[in-house]
Structure 1
Amino acid sequence: MSEPGSDHDAPQAGREPIFMLPPVVTALAGIMLAIHLATTLVLDNVGLYQLTLWFGFIPMRLLAPDQLPGGFWPLLWTPFSHAFLHANWEHVIFNTLWLAIFATPVARRYGALPTLVIFLVTSAAGALAFAATTLPNVQVLIGASGGVAGLTGAAMRFIFQPVMVGTDPDTGQRVLLGRHLASLREVFTNPRSRNFSLIWIVLNAAVPLVPALIGQDIQIAWQAHLGGFVIGLLLPPLFERSWQHE
């Protein structure tokens, strides 16, 4: 065993991890980027169309499954798989950056599995909100924004809250316990979380008005953003008990 401060230990002590993101966040971002890279390199327009038909979320399947390939069955996976497809590089890069910012505090608080659960559940919630506001029109939802909005909503429950301090029962030393989990009421009474949440909701709710103002349609799934964000706000208490006892 080397003595503390020896030449053998010094380089290891000075090493910093290359990626500061939690592994689950790095994995999600990597999967999204890898899928988009693969689709741009391998698939032609026909292949991209087929990929979108089978893995993008198409609400019309709920009303007329016989008019689309696979019928009803793709509804079993497309509420989740649509989150891993993106329209272009700007789309996937924006979503991975957004993921890195807001999934990181969630992953550090709850771990990998709860983070994945929140991402997938809120992706599905965003898809349902999209369906509720687009049917009976034929539209397709792709992109991770619903799931990332859900992680953003989950983060709102604690990232702006004060840090809790406790006392170690053995040593009597003061220890940091993490940030307080806010109730929904506290989210909207804390000025920072309230302002962020209200700005987020208003900006997305205003998206349908943009075409009337600029005379041009914009392809933003604001419904998925709002649906994911709202459900994301509700989910953290389900995972809080396990975090408190770590």
Structure 2
Amino acid sequence: MERDQTATPPEAERDSAANPAREPAFNLPAGLTFILLFLIAIHVLRTYVLPPAIDQEIIFNFAFLPARYDHPLAEQGLAWLWSPVTYSFLHGSWEHLIFNIFWMVAFGAPVVRRIGMGRLAVFWCLSAAAAVALHTAFHWGEMIVVVGASGVVSGFMGAAARFVFSPSGRISRQFAHLNRRLDVGEALANRSVVVFAGIWFLTNFLIGLGMFTPGGAGSVAWEAHIGGFLFGFLLFSLFDPRD
């Protein structure tokens, strides 16, 4: 995101180990493939087709602005209503979009396989809103333009942490969605989950200090990343059809 800027079934595990060729390196759910193509199409349209003036209108009406909520809602348009979701379909650059696609492929795929497209649509909207809600708490009333799917990607990461790790701590890309979901207490007691979450939070705190980001902390809405992750981690059971 940028500022404008049940364990795996034993037989399946054995089959995967004995026949590694059956687990392709690139095997995405059709629904996730559609989402990625949609994000790419939007960025192509904004970058190469629409004139700059129209693109600025799109940013103003569909990107997220904390400043909107410091003014009476009745005195402005309805962008305050949909922008907590629509900002997640816009990106600041190709690098920004490709970075989000990479992590969405890694962590979005098992989540989509597990919950299906209907629940995914709700998860996407609510995780996007939760991400910018925390961001707004730190930047109330500021004229900061927030775009990107990083908050949702962080939500995928938080959700995936509840089920993708096998007892050995490894991740099987093809069968991770079949694992038993850990409750929050079990997840916090799982070494693999704790290490994964610890590295993730440390990285984002360092981003907040201006590290790991060419543009400095001001170019990354790192608070929104944390909001999305906490949403996915704490509330994933509401979307998970498996016990």
Shorter-chain TM-score category?
A: 0.7 to 0.9
TM value normalised by structure 1: 0.78
Which sections of structure 1, spanning at least 5 residues, go unmatched?
A: 1-15, 164-175
Q: Does structure 2 retain, via aligned residues, the 8 Å contact 1:201–1:226?
A: yes
SS of the equivalent of 1:160 reads coil
Q: Does structure 2 retain, via aligned residues, the 8 Å contact 1:62–1:72?
A: no
Aligned to 2:202: 202
What do the CA deviations read for 1:137-191 (whole angstroms, capped 9, x no partner)? 210110000011101110000001449xxxxxxxxxxxx9931211112222211
Match among 106, 110, 114 for residue 115 of structure 2: 110
User: Judging changes above 3 Å, is the alpha-carbon distance between structure 1 residues 50 and 135 closer, same or farther for their aligned structure 2 residues?
Assistant: same
CA distance, structure 2, for counterparts of residue 215 and residue 152 of structure 1: 24
Between the aligned residues of both structures, percent identity stands at 35
CA distance, structure 1, for counterparts of residue 44 and residue 50 of structure 2: 10
Aligned to 1:191: 191
Q: How far has the Cα of 1:20 moved from its partner?
A: 1.9
Q: Does structure 2 retain, via aligned residues, the 8 Å contact 1:103–1:115?
A: no
SS of the equivalent of 1:52 reads helix
Aligned to 1:49: 56
Aligned to 1:24: 31
Q: Does structure 2 retain, via aligned residues, the 8 Å contact 1:65–1:72?
A: no
Count of paired positions: 212
Matched, 1:232 2:232: yes
CA distance, structure 2, for counterparts of residue 183 and residue 18 of structure 1: 29
1:48-87, aligned counterparts within 5 Å? 48-64=55-71, 71-87=76-92
Aligned to 1:132: 137
SS of the equivalent of 1:206 reads helix
SS of the equivalent of 1:139 reads coil
Match among 141, 152, 155 for residue 146 of structure 2: 141
What do the CA deviations read for 1:15-58 (whole angstroms, capped 9, x no partner)? x9997200121111111000000111122322221111000011
CA distance, structure 1, for counterparts of residue 187 and residue 153 of structure 2: 19
User: Which structure would you say has the larger Rg?
Assistant: 1
AA aligned opposite 1:21: L
Q: How far has the Cα of 1:97 moved from its partner?
A: 1.4
